[in-house]
Structure 1
Amino acid sequence: MEDVRLIRSEKDYQAALKQIRALWDAEPGTPEEDQLEILSILVSKYEEEHFPIEEPDPIEYIKVRMEELGLRQEDLVPYMGNKGNVSKVLNRKRSLSLEMIRNLHRGLRFPLEVLIGESSLGLRSNH
């Protein structure tokens, strides 16, 4: 059983991944399984710090879900008010309103956390 060390560099990270692969089939209840679990925790911590996952853009999320669900822009009208609103939101010319967010969440089960996230609007402030 190799020593388990903190992961402080890319080299340490790659070495830990190699160890994990070697221990992948460790028998439950063995020291190897414990080592595998400890290494997994260390790798997870390193990845969170060095490869953070950004929240998805709400507009991109809506577009991806539309494709997955086979929805057209017209299908979003009941949730967003009218065709103009749908088009403006999907083209980043208008922000999602609170009512739209609620409707998309209730009607299509889109996660609130994603819908309220920052989107990269093409708008410029007039202030």
Structure 2
Amino acid sequence: MEAVIDRQAADELAGHFAAISKHVPLRPVRSEGEYDAAVASLNALLDAGAADESHPLADLAATLGELIGDYDEVHYPGKDVAPSEMLRFLMDQHGLKQTDLADELGSQGVVSEVLNGKRELNLRQMRALAGRFAVPVAVFVEDVTLRS
């Protein structure tokens, strides 16, 4: 379906956009102040249930998250972290033990090998962990330049 925006539709959209913008800064983030406001708005949306993909505001939260992410990439570049370190960090943040990851990784022995860097995660495991911790699969993909 092709979207057609005539003058009347554009005026209507402008009104809706102005109303949304009073609550959510839905524009590129250009300063620390705008960044703080965008993060606060995103947190409020998530607290209201927008983390659930079926929530009516989920796409709004996702769009705001991407605008925040664009600013983050430029102003707060992340360090490359080995998948085992990321997994250990996420486990600590969520108060999990090795046995808690049996559904995602397998036996406690497998989890131990992953955490000790003796075993790499496969794609199924990466997807399962990404789902459990609500992070992108990419955080579990090893950068070969980290190996030494």
When normalised by structure 2's length, the TM-score is: 0.43
Which one scores higher on RCO, CA 8 angstroms, separation ≥ 6?
Answer: 1
Larger Rg: 1
Task: Judging by fraction of residues, say which structure has more helix.
Answer: 2
